[in-house]
Structure 1
């Protein structure tokens, strides 16, 4: 149970109505567009405050620039996301939680931005006026959340999709953490299950270095969602309760290398697919497994990250199952280049391609 209790969750009927009324699924993907979502508004920059956290808050823009330079796609072929509205967020989130992001208590008393400071792990954010935090910090995250939901639709229609942002796997319906303010993975899945009746089994493959505790809490009792999570057990969040929501749990140690990691990924992924037979896959492709990452504390090489993504796409697309990829964590400037290299590899291996 989250901090506000189960009684404050939105019921299924109201969630269905909110999804039905949302504008996030009203777009039609142009035949000339790649199912790759990005907007310059993803990036977080404000008077250097973003530098107080190791997260590279301009990573998303640099990934897109590399893809343009590599001629993977053009500006015109990139899908522009729509910002998730409060009504969209209420499909999953409780009103008290969303109010706390606005600096409001349950009694709607205006406060500073303490909740956002706790989520972003940047203490000075608590001292900023909330309207500034909304515009400079939370709006980029809402835009990425809208991008994740839209990418889910495109993945079903095109077989694959990539949101250059998103992957906020520490956020659940009732609380955020670890730089994750909105539960984009839970929202993405809720929208897919509502709009595509043929999809009844969804698998989350989370290969970020950190345990994905947010969606695990949200789907704890939902048999339609199968979670495979491979993570470093010695780092944040060490959420023992959320571990009960993981169907296939692979706990690694600090310093895990390619030689151990890649065979484990391949073995467990194919076993999970054969066990669950998913009809849709959400791939949380964090690059904080990279050697030298100050938070992931693993020793995977750049080539290992690229090979990991190839293994996942080959396994899933080999079963003709739609897959949506989110970029999630990664705390070194080098990760942007590696993500772009991975997309190039997927294209060169025939696992993604133009319309």
Structure 2
């Protein structure tokens, strides 16, 4: 409805990634696993009912509350004045579909060794609060679903390489020793959540303008060290592209090739340690990020780290 023009996020990013992969003949409609919308009972595995109620209108008097909450999370002030049915259909439902995609991809990763959700990675949302464009805690939900419903899954490692600190899943797993969190982020930008930092097992704080050589050296060293330190049953890889040079929100200076090499480093480490990996695409606020994500997935295929038995999730491509 034109709201995307008021927001730095490219709302067509996910669909563009799928189209690029189709053009390269890596995927077809038959080889894409379509995401299903996360239902309320799914969301209640992590989220409080009070939080979910604040995202929707039950009675007229709650108008100001629900509209304010969603407008604040999405950082689009005009959402404040939209009817609830439009907010649900155009804003929250696509996010619930992406959340369902991450949960589905977690199961596929365990079964097949890898999966990619073209979407998801809402790492600023925790059980009782949203923020930073993130309304549902898909990473937390996926890990909890795997712990509860997949036999043999009792430990998880989160490798969060988005430019921003992943304070949502950090708050959710603050006292859960089954979850190891590695977070590499620009120390000077949102959210600066000092409390959540206490949950990070391996913290790598970057300076403004960090470039490829330093970044890739740190990623490789710390990913290897993290996987050596704890033997997990699943890796959730939050592969934000807001580390790209020129990104208006990331503040780092990584090249497109640097992003492709970063993703290859993480997947190679997962294969070396024989740990299933789920990748979500998270942040990235430039029009060219869709092409880079697609190029990175194509590279993973060409170097043999993913195969043609595809477990790519299409989520949020509307």
Instruction: Please give the range of the TM-score, normalised by the shorter of the 2 chains.
Output: over 0.9
Tell me the residue number matched to 2:109: 155
The 8 Å contact of residues 103 and 114 in structure 1, kept in 2 or not, is answered as: no
Q: Is 1:98–2:52 an aligned residue pair?
A: yes
Question: How far apart, in 2, do the equivalents of 1:270 and 1:69 lie?
Answer: 34
Q: Is 1:132–2:86 an aligned residue pair?
A: yes
Alignment of 1:66-81 (within 5 A): 66-81=20-35
The higher relative CO (CA closer than 8 Å, separation ≥ 6) is in 2
Tell me the residue number matched to 2:233: 279
More moved, 121-130 vs 96-105: 96-105
CA positional deviation for 1:104: 5.3
The 8 Å contact of residues 212 and 229 in structure 1, kept in 2 or not, is answered as: yes
Tell me the residue number matched to 1:29: none
Q: Is 1:346–2:300 an aligned residue pair?
A: yes
Gaps of 5+ in 1: 1-45
Aligned Cα RMSD in Å? 1.0
Tell me the residue number matched to 2:194: 240
Q: Is 1:63–2:37 an aligned residue pair?
A: no
What are the superposed Cα offsets for residues 52-100 of structure 1, whole Å, 9 maximum, x if unpaired? 1101111000000000001111011100111001111001000110011
The 3-state SS of whatever aligns with 2:29 is coil
Alignment of 1:286-305 (within 5 A): 286-305=240-259
Q: Is 1:177–2:116 an aligned residue pair?
A: no
Question: How far apart, in 1, do the equivalents of 2:29 and 2:292 lie?
Answer: 20
Tell me the residue number matched to 1:141: 95
Question: How far apart, in 1, do the equivalents of 2:186 and 2:108 lie?
Answer: 31
The 8 Å contact of residues 310 and 346 in structure 1, kept in 2 or not, is answered as: yes
Alignment of 1:317-332 (within 5 A): 317-332=271-286
Tell me the residue number matched to 1:36: none
CA positional deviation for 1:50: 1.6
Question: How far apart, in 1, do the equivalents of 2:34 and 2:188 lie?
Answer: 37
Scaled by the length of structure 1, the TM-score of the pair is 0.85
The 3-state SS of whatever aligns with 1:110 is helix
Tell me the residue number matched to 2:142: 188
What are the superposed Cα offsets for residues 209-243 of structure 1, whole Å, 9 maximum, x if unpaired? 00000010000000000000000010000000000
Residue in structure 2 matching 1:216, options 160, 170, 177:
170
For these two proteins, the number of residue pairs brought into alignment is 307
What are the superposed Cα offsets for residues 269-293 of structure 1, whole Å, 9 maximum, x if unpaired? 1001111112210000000000000
The 8 Å contact of residues 204 and 227 in structure 1, kept in 2 or not, is answered as: yes
What are the superposed Cα offsets for residues 14-68 of structure 1, whole Å, 9 maximum, x if unpaired? xxxxxxxxxxxxxxxxxxxxxxxxxxxxxxxx2x112111011110000000000
CA 1:248–1:140: 2 relative to 1, 3 Å: same
CA positional deviation for 1:197: 2.8
CA positional deviation for 1:320: 1.2
Question: How far apart, in 2, do the equivalents of 1:121 and 1:340 lie?
Answer: 27
What are the superposed Cα offsets for residues 185-218 of structure 1, whole Å, 9 maximum, x if unpaired? 0000011111223121100000000000001000
The 3-state SS of whatever aligns with 2:141 is helix
Which segments of structure 1 move beyond 2 Å, counting only runs of 4 or more? Answer: none
Alignment of 1:98-117 (within 5 A): 98-103=52-57, 109-112=61-64, 113-117=67-71
Tell me the residue number matched to 2:316: none
